[in-house]
Amino acid sequence: MSDKTQIHLAAALDGAGWHPAAWREPDAAPAARLIGAAYWLEQVRTAQAGLLDFVTIEDGFLLQSDEFASPDTRTDRVRGRLDASLIAARLAPLTAHIGLVPTVTTTHTEPFHVSKTIATLDYVSTGRAGWRPQVGALAPEAALFGRRDLPALRVEDLAEPETQAVIRELFDEAADHVEVVRRLWDSWEDDAEIRDLATGRFIDREKLHYIDFTGRHFSVRGPSITPRPPQGQPPVVALAHSSVPYAFAARSADVVLITPPDPDAIAPIVAEIRQAQAAAGREGERLLVFGEFVVFLDEAPVTALARKERLDEAAGAPYRSDAPIFAGSPAALADQLAQWARSGLDGFRLRPATVPHDLDGIAYGLVPELQRRGLFRSGYAADTLRGNLGLPRPANRYATAAA
């Protein structure tokens, strides 16, 4: 990236914020408001005021936990959540321009249902839907459904061959899941609905296609019952920390989120993703790479650091994350984002440590600072998420084959 290339920004929304003690802040919403549409609407409208490309909404089938692979018994943390895709659908007609990207698992859901859900969200939002597929690798999660058994995972065993084999299998399944969803989105051609009153034909049946997908994990004939989404293919956003998920993202995603610990780690990760992208036959396609930060933002850096320390004390332990943690001023964060972008990143997904404080800091502190430097747009460039990300609307694979 040159010094004047504009970067993309997204926000990751989760509960009262990403710090476990965020709900205790004086400006945090009362617990009851977390389970309501108005709370989420306020956050998304703040992100939209900051001209962010999209927000992601966290989700999962297990109660949130401080433990890596099992539920905990803590009562001093936010527990419980709404369905991310339904939150997005509720907010879609009340917002404009900003993308809405719910998290939906691939491990315990059917791709036919997911394709329909995200396609519907794309219609309700008039082209602003995305999807963050997430693998569900934990045994307690699998036990909720009773369809399969998964081995208990431990952090210390993640590098073991047996554990890696389980992880690889789950990501292979996720790749098939995304492929089925994408094919179902294409199973209707864009002009399949003809609505011809003279002949009484609502659809052109020749423009609906069986996808006939048969793989190790799914066998789906199709077609979908939902017409092709307005974007054709709503963007797929994948979080990846290591080689197996990098390969999944390179094969299946439009945006990959990575968590390098420092700028020196960026180039090797990006190179690995590009190599995997070429190996997947996608070398000519645009695949955006975003970095991740958890952010504590205050005009005075000492205030941000003191706030983090106070939250850590309330939580009973220093906050740790899979992503780098930034505590400082919007100007200092702008410096860091510019530096990291020059190392090969297209943008960033920022996780506000507390809401509304740090989300406001992103929208009303960081964004104006980036705009002053010519690194962020002054208005939305398009009405769709793909358009704002600079992703072309893809051709329908089946229409091309038919032609």
Task: For residue range 286-315, list pLDDT tens digits in order.
Answer: 999 999 999 999 999 999 999 999 999 999
41 lies in some domain: yes
8 lies in some domain: no
Q: How many CB atoms lie within 10 A of CB 205?
A: 8
Alpha carbons 93 and 129: distance in angstroms, whole number: 12
pLDDT tens per residue across span 344-381: 999 999 999 999 999 999 999 999 999 999 999 999 99
1 lies in some domain: no
Residues of the chain above pLDDT 90, percent:
83
Task: Return the pLDDT at 1.
Answer: 47
149 lies in some domain: yes
4 lies in some domain: no
Work out the mean pLDDT of the chain and round it to a whole number: 94
* Mean pLDDT across 33-55: 95
Task: Return the pLDDT at 2.
Answer: 46
Residue 34 scores a pLDDT above 90: no
190 lies in some domain: yes
Residue 400 scores a pLDDT above 70: no
* Mean pLDDT across 3-27: 92
Q: How many domains does the chain have?
A: 1
Domain of residue 148 covers 13-402
Give me the helix-helix angle, 266-279 and 243-252, nearest 10°: 50
Residue 130 scores a pLDDT above 90: yes
393 lies in some domain: yes
pLDDT tens per residue across span 144-179: 898 888 888 887 778 888 888 989 999 999 999 999
The residue behind tokens 């061959």 is 161
Element spanning 33, H or E: helix 31-34
Alpha carbons 311 and 21: distance in angstroms, whole number: 6
CATH code for position 192: 3.20.20.30
* Mean pLDDT across 95-114: 97
Please give the annotated binding residues for FMN, written as ranges.
59, 103, 242
* Mean pLDDT across 107-132: 97
3 lies in some domain: no
Please give the annotated binding residues, written as ranges.
59, 103, 242
Task: Return the pLDDT at 319.
Answer: 96
